Amino acid sequence: MKKKEARVITCIICPVGCRARLTMKNGKITEIEGLECPRGEEYVRRELEAPVRDFFTTVRIKGAVIPVLPVRSTQPIPKDKIMDCVLELANVVVDAPVQAGEIIAKNPLGLGVDIVATRDLDRVKER
Ligand code: SF4
C-alpha cells in the first residue's frame, strides 16, 4: 500500500503563476489547492498525466545562405517523444528555397502533427 505524497507545481498558463499544492495517492491526484481558475487545474492534470511541449529544432538545408533551417511542430508533442522526433529529423535535408510555414516533415512518428519551416530561406545564386 502506497502512502499519500504531496507535490507543488507552478501553473505557467498566465503571469499570475499560481502554485498548486497537490495531494496524491498511488500516482493519482486526490486534491488540488492554490489555483485561481479551472485552466490551472487542466494544466496541472495534463502536466502530470500527459505532458506536452512545443517542439523546435533545425534541419539541414542545401543551396541556402546558411546550412540549417529552423523548424517547429504545428502542435505541441508528447514530452517523452521529443528526442525521438529530434532523431527522426536528423537525416532530413531540404533544398532551398523554402518559405515559412512550408511542411518539412509530414506527421513524423505518427504523432498527428507536421514539422514546418519557421522562416524563408532563398536559394543562393551559384557563381
Ligand atoms: S491557475 Fe489560472 S490564474 Fe493561476 S496561473 Fe494558472 S491560469 Fe493563471
Report DSSP letters for 85-107, one per residue.
HHHHHTT-EEESPB-TT-EEESS
Q: Provide the pLDDT for residue 112.
A: 95
Rounded to an integer, the average pLDDT of 105-114 is 96
pLDDT digits (tens, 9 = 90+) for 38-60: 999 999 999 988 899 999 999 99
The reported pTM is 0.79
Q: Ligand 1 mean position to 50 CA, how many Å?
A: 19
Q: Superfamily for 56-117?
A: CPE0013-like (3.10.530.10)
Query: Does residue 13 line the site of ligand 1, with CB under 6 A?
Result: yes
| Spatial separation of the C-alpha atoms in residues 93 and 62, rounded to whole Å | 7
Local structure of 109: helix, strand or coil:
helix
Q: Which atom of ligand 1 is nearest to the CA of 14?
A: 8
Pocket test of ligand 1: the residue of 8, 19, 36 to mutate, having most ligand atoms within 8 Å of its CB, is: 36
Q: Which atom of ligand 1 is nearest to the CA of 35?
A: 1
> Which protein residue has the closest C-alpha to ligand 1 atom 2?
37
Local structure of 34: helix, strand or coil:
coil
Query: Does residue 19 line the site of ligand 1, with CB under 6 A?
Result: no
Q: Which fold has domain 5-49?
A: N-terminal domain of TfIIb (2.20.25)
Q: Provide the pLDDT for residue 127.
A: 64
Domain ranges of the chain: 5-49, 56-117
56-117: same fold as 5-49?
no
DSSP 16: T
